Amino acid sequence: MAYKQCAWLVRWQWIGEHASVKRPVVALLQPRLGQKKVAEIVRTLYSAAGNYSLAEQAEYTKHPDAAPYQAEISTRGITYGHHPWLEAIYVRDLTITTDPSTGGESLSFLHPDRFEFDQGTGVRTVARKSFSETICQPLPGHSQY
């Protein structure tokens, strides 16, 4: 990819190597999607990843509130599930590079500034400055990396 873009990045998150996954990035979604739609997609991706039986999937499709986990929407993004869990974050300046010698892809992106609004003063201030992050993972079908 030669240009930078905005997107919703859906990835696995975990604590401790025992719960790590080989391919942490699950999906890139259109940046124009709203948080509620992204939450629905994340719930579906978590379900499709083998975390529920087919019977459970059918039940939770019919009665989403019966699922053991609910999507949590915050200023940080959207999370769903438990250890490992899925996280959807809005990113900008997304670039993807491929290393043919290792069979790996690197995604580099910027977490945008996060703002807070002080209702007492009516002033919007930066709560967290933007920062960059890079994720590396093997291409599908490549065992090296």
pLDDT in tens, 85-100: 999 999 999 998 888 8
Is 145 within a domain?
Answer: no
What is d(CA 43, CA 67) in angstroms, rounded to the nearest whole number?
10
Quote the tokens at residue 42. 């994340």
Average pLDDT value over all residues in the chain: 86
Give the pLDDT score at 4. 85
Distance linking the first and last C-alpha atoms of the chain: 20
Is 144 within a domain?
Answer: no
Quote the tokens at residue 7. 């997107």
Kindly tell me the burial class for residue 48, based on how many C-beta atoms sit within 10 Å of its own C-beta (0-12, 13-18, 19 or more).
exposed
For the cut 80, the answer to whether the pLDDT of residue 58 exceeds it is: yes
Is 106 within a domain?
Answer: yes
Q: How many domains does the chain have?
A: 1
Is 143 within a domain?
Answer: no
Domain residues for the domain of 74 are: 5-138
Give the pLDDT score at 144. 41
In the chain, pLDDT over 90 holds for what percent of residues?
Answer: 48
Choice between 145 and 136, residue whose per-residue pLDDT is larger: 136
Give the pLDDT score at 52. 93
Q: State the pTM of this model.
A: 0.80
Amino acid at 16: G
- Asked if residue 110 lies in contact with residue 92, where contact means CB atoms within 8 angstroms, the answer is yes
Choice between 71 and 145, residue whose per-residue pLDDT is larger: 71
